[in-house]
Structure 1
Amino acid sequence: MVIANARALLEVGRRLLGSAAPTTVLNLAAVAEVDSAALSLLLAWLRTANERGVALRIAHPPASLISLAALYGVSELLPLA
């Protein structure tokens, strides 16, 4: 989840959230690389989920994502499962 693939991931995520279960868990266990674009992407997906009445939870975020969220002061905005 880096700037190079953020736009494509944003669109895929928005499409998937259109048919998501009322409570959906986003498993990030396979994510190997993140940058600040990952935070923007997650916040955009959370906004989309909220608009569609989906409770989106984030599971197994990489340590680097947790560190970035703390650095930018947005840790409390990420609903960790």
Structure 2
Amino acid sequence: MANARGLLEAGRSALMAGEQVFDFSEVSEADSSAIAVMLGWLRSAEAARSTVKFAHIPAGVRSLAELYGVSELLPLA
């Protein structure tokens, strides 16, 4: 949670530079703030008329997305 705002901004910057796939393979620990960040990236991509996909989502984040009913909103690579 402490890193969420910084990650949101870093992702938005990556989108502006053309980044379209966010790879979570190096993420070892995440909480519900990861879902908020991912949804923020999706909104930013939509506003920029771009697309974004998520790769290697940790099982815990997938479980949270299912629990919150947003798993179908998260495009997986």
- The bucket for the TM-score relative to the shorter chain is over 0.9
Q: How many residue pairs get matched?
A: 77
1:10 paired with 2:13, answer no
Q: Secondary structure at the match of 2:21?
A: strand
**Superposed CA offset, 1:37-81 (max 9, x none):** 000000000110111122101111000010000011100000011
Matching residue within 67, 70, 74 for 1:74:
70
Q: Which residue of 2 aligns with 1:40?
A: 36
SS at structure 1 position matched to 2:52: strand
Root-mean-square deviation over aligned CA pairs: 0.9
Alignment of 1:25 onto 2:21: yes
Q: What CA distance in whole angstroms lies between the structure 1 residues aligned with 2:7 and 2:22?
A: 13
TM-score by length of 1: 0.90
Query: Percent identity of the aligned residues?
Result: 51
Alpha-carbon distance, 1:30 to partner = 0.6
In the alignment, structure 2 segments of 5+ residues that lack a partner are none
Shift of 1:36: 0.7
Q: Which residue of 2 aligns with 1:54?
A: 50
TM-score using structure 2 length = 0.94
Structure 1, unpaired ranges of 5+: none
4+ long deviations beyond 4 Å: none
Larger relative strand fraction: 1
**Matched letter for residue 38 of structure 2:** L
